[in-house]
Amino acid sequence: MEKIRSMIVLEIMGRPSKYISDAMADFINKIGMEKGITILNKKTHKAKEIERKDKEGKKMKIPEEQKMYSLFSELELESESIYDLMRVVFAYMPSHVEILKPQNFPMKNFEVNTFFNEIVRKMHEYEAITKKALMNNQILQNKFRSYMKKYPPKKQDQEKDKKD
């Protein structure tokens, strides 16, 4: 099978702007080191502040330490196989993927099965992580309820909370 040429878009949001710029550079370096992947072109756009607006739609003034930034990078990749590209997609979760070449994918039954089984494996992995997080959340909620029964808030604390 011929090599696959694709375009992916990676987006990142956070603060401060230097941190997300450095994080993006790290992502791109890691992608370039992935087995079967070659970065042909890359373009990273400058981090931009995410504007927040009040109820009237006016731009809010945000303290520097609370400002959020976003940036994105466009990468043109060459992959040895569809599996190599799929690994990158699952590992780095781009916001957009576009196959540039080839126009058609002649795949054998075995290749299609392997492709879908890898998708299913990843979905089960994410499901296990989600179930564990939900279970931990439930345990924490139960512990909190137990604590609140054992140590209920004092009346003066409840009255103070109502005033606030």
Would you state the pLDDT for residue 33?
A: 96
Would you state the pLDDT for residue 79?
A: 95
Does the predicted TM-score (pTM) go above 0.85? Answer: no
71 neighbors 46 (Cβ within 8 angstroms) = yes
Would you state the pLDDT for residue 115?
A: 80
Distance between CA atoms of residues 73 and 46, nearest Å: 9
Q: Which residue, among 114, 87, 85, has the nearest Cα to 100 in the 3D structure?
A: 85
- H-helix segments, 74-108: 82-92
Would you state the pLDDT for residue 60?
A: 84
Phi, psi of 33 (to 5 degrees): -95, -5
pLDDT in tens, the chain (164 residues): 689 999 999 999 998 889 999 999 999 999 999 999 999 999 999 999 888 888 888 888 888 888 899 999 999 999 998 889 988 998 899 999 999 999 887 778 887 788 888 888 888 888 899 999 999 999 999 999 998 888 888 776 666 666 65
